[in-house]
């Protein structure tokens, strides 16, 4: 008898669905089947690979409402966030297909021999293991599936436990639309039971994972010499200089910090503001946070629940620690079950846990600094390096600050974010390895293969 996992909604604890609780043996069987099918798919013409890839977009669009409703119930997204996830993902598939059609082998000439030239083509990697997180269960899976398939790979998809109902429903829709089952397997179950088998199987050609820094580092320590893409945690600082447009900064900081109740790797997680404008900025941020209203059912409130009880308990601990260290609670500060009131903390010291750790919740600390130099020093004082933002009316000054921040990307006068999805997105330090973005993901899911012509 197949063991199952019951997935409940963070909104009210009601049952969203059940999924199989697979074993390490199931993982090995899935790899063998996928590897066999991939060997044939590797030599299929590009048109066939792209026909298969396109079914991802068709299935998303045909099931738009059903998938979005599930994202609301299973993850606690607002209906607008859920719908955007589905549509954005279909666009990524279309963009991937367009990019794959554009790719041509590169020709390199031998400078010493005009008759000799090298053609650099691409080959698939085999079976790609795609590990997707709870916060974008569809989007951050298909950003892996689409380039993997277009490049001629098969995929073993391990969704996060919360998010595995929507993943299995999507896969069912895909198979019903005629997608070849032998090229994609969804393996649901407990990460701690399956992790070892998933990342150490000799038939695993690549691991593409989005999730926590802790899990990413564990994976990097377990796999052999195979390509890895890791999109991990972030502790993104927003730096506000004395000459910033404070209305603009407040609007983008709040949008960046509280969307999806702060459960985004790219959320603004710390604000460093120059003292001379700190009072005014805090008032403006507070006014923006007030517009969000109280946390509640995401079908009626912009701030929904956190994914589980322990995520909410973490916010409680971080708020209490900041208070103990002298921070002032400007707004919010309370937690009811999985619901955390949008919280603004001022005069937070750098050593507070809410500054040191990735909160992944709707809690925003403001740290007051003397000048840009102190802001840069404190912004870089972290194990993470995903993104950052800098607000200043002086473009040159903003750029100079951005250049000193050790992060994969810096936004000037705008919020941190991964998209648009053709942009390169990467993390430094504990925030990851490799790059995504349509073209970059396609390249990362294949390996170069050269042919040298001698006459």
Catalytic sites, residue numbers: 231, 265
Selected range binding ligand G3H among 167-175, 259-267, 317-325, 442-450, rule: CB under 6 A: 259-267
CB nearer ligand G3H, residue 122 or residue 264: 264
DSSP string, 354-382: HHHS---SSEEEEEEESSHHHHHHHHT-S
What is the size of the binding site for ligand G3H (CB under 6 A)? 9
Q: Which of 75, 196, 189 is nearest to 139 (CA)?
A: 75
CB nearer ligand G3H, residue 349 or residue 414: 414
Q: Assess 419 for contact with ligand G3H (CB under 6 A).
A: yes
CB nearer ligand G3H, residue 314 or residue 418: 418
Q: How many CB atoms lie within 10 A of CB 421?
A: 18
Cβ atoms of 31 and 207 within 8 Å: the answer is no
SS3 451: strand
- Numbers of helices and strands, H then E, in the chain: 15, 24
Query: Cβ of residue 88: shortest distance to ligand G3H, in angstroms?
Result: 8
Round the CA-based radius of gyration of the chain to a whole number and report it: 23
Query: Cβ of residue 152: shortest distance to ligand G3H, in angstroms?
Result: 25
Cβ-proximal residues to 271 (8 Å cutoff; 6+ apart), any chain? 237, 238, 240, 253, 281, 285, 364, 365, 366, 367
Strand 363-369 to 268-274 pairing: parallel
Selected range binding ligand G3H among 46-54, 212-220, 293-301, 417-425, rule: CB under 6 A: 417-425
Q: What is the 3-state secondary structure (H, E, C) of 135-189?
A: CCCCHHHHHHHHHHHHCCCEEEEEECCCCHHHHHHHHHHHHHCCCCHHHEEECCC
Cβ atoms of 453 and 260 within 8 Å: the answer is no
CB nearer ligand G3H, residue 136 or residue 157: 136
Query: Cβ of residue 308: shortest distance to ligand G3H, in angstroms?
Result: 16
List the one residue from 132, 266, 343, 444 that touches ligand G3H (CB under 6 A): 266
Whose tokens are 């995401």? That residue is 298
User: What does the alpha-carbon distance between residue 242 and residue 275 come to, in Å, rounded to a whole number?
Assistant: 8
Q: Assess 168 for contact with ligand G3H (CB under 6 A).
A: no
Selected range binding ligand G3H among 199-207, 263-271, 333-341, 396-404, rule: CB under 6 A: 263-271
Q: Assess 417 for contact with ligand G3H (CB under 6 A).
A: yes
Q: Assess 264 for contact with ligand G3H (CB under 6 A).
A: yes
Interaction with ligand G3H in 116-135: which residues (CB under 6 A)?
A: 135
Q: Assess 77 for contact with ligand G3H (CB under 6 A).
A: no
Query: Cβ of residue 366: shortest distance to ligand G3H, in angstroms?
Result: 21
Query: Cβ of residue 368: shortest distance to ligand G3H, in angstroms?
Result: 27
Query: Cβ of residue 262: shortest distance to ligand G3H, in angstroms?
Result: 10
Q: Assess 306 for contact with ligand G3H (CB under 6 A).
A: no
CB nearer ligand G3H, residue 160 or residue 315: 160
Interaction with ligand G3H in 206-235: which residues (CB under 6 A)?
A: 231
Question: What is the side-by-side order of every strand in the sheet holding 113-124?
Answer: 106-110, 113-124, 446-453
Q: Assess 392 for contact with ligand G3H (CB under 6 A).
A: no
Q: Assess 418 for contact with ligand G3H (CB under 6 A).
A: yes
Q: Assess 426 for contact with ligand G3H (CB under 6 A).
A: no
Query: Cβ of residue 76: shortest distance to ligand G3H, in angstroms?
Result: 15
Whose tokens are 């390509």? That residue is 227
Cβ atoms of 389 and 410 within 8 Å: the answer is yes
Q: Assess 144 for contact with ligand G3H (CB under 6 A).
A: no
- Quick one: how far is CA 159 from the chain centroid? 13
Interacting residues with ligand G3H (CB under 6 A): 135-136, 231, 264-266, 417-419
């Amino acid at each position: 008898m197949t063991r199952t996992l019951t997935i409940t909604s963070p909104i009210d604890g009601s049952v969203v669905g059940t999924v199989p609780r697979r074993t390490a043996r199931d993982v090995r069987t899935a790899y063998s089947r996928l590897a066999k099918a991939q060997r044939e798919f590797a030599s299929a013409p590009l048109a066939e690979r792209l026909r298969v890839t396109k079914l991802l977009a068709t299935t998303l669009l045909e099931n738009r409402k059903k998938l979005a409703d599930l994202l609301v119930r299973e993850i606690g997204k607002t209906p607008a966030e859920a719908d955007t996830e589905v549509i954005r993902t279909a666009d990524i598939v279309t963009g991937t297909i367009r990019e794959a059609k554009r790719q041509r082998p590169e020709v390199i000439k031998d400078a010493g021999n005009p008759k000799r030239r090298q053609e650099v083509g691409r080959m698939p990697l085999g079976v790609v293991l795609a590990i997707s997180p709870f916060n974008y269960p569809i989007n951050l899976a298909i950003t892996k599936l689409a380039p993997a398939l277009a490049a001629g790979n098969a995929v073993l998809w391990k969704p996060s436990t919360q998010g595995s109902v929507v993943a299995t429903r999507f896969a069912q829709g895909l198979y019903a639309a005629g997608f070849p089952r032998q090229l994609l397997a969804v393996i649901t179950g407990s990460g701690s039971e399956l992790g070892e088998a998933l990342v150490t199987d000799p038939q695993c050609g690549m691991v593409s994972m989005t999730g926590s820094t802790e899990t990413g580092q564990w994976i990097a320590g377990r796999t052999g010499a195979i390509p890895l893409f890791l999109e991990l945690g972030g502790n993104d600082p927003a730096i506000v200089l004395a000459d910033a447009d404070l209305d603009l900064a407040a609007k983008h900081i709040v949008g960046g910090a509280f969307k999806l109740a702060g459960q985004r790797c790219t959320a603004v997680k710390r604000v460093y503001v120059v003292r001379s404008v700190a009072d005014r900025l805090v008032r403006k941020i507070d006014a923006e946070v007030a517009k969000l209203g109280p946390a509640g059912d995401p079908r009626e409130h912009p701030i929904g629940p956190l994914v589980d009880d322990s995520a909410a308990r973490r916010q409680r601990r971080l708020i209490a620690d900041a208070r103990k260290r002298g921070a002032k609670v400007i707004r919010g500060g309370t937690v009811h079950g999985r619901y955390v009131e949008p919280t603004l903390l001022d005069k937070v010291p750098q050593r507070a846990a809410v500054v040191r750790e990735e909160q992944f919740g709707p809690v925003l600390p403001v740290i007051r600094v003397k000048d840009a130099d102190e802001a840069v020093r404190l912004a870089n004082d972290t194990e993470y390096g995903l993104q950052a933002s800098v607000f200043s009316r002086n473009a040159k000054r903003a750029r100079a600050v951005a250049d000193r921040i050790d992060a994969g990307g810096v936004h000037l006068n705008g919020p941190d974010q991964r998209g648009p999805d053709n942009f390169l997105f990467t993390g430094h330090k504990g925030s990851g390895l490799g790059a995504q973005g349509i073209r970059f993901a396609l390249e990362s899911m294949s390996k170069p293969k050269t042919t040298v012509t001698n006459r």
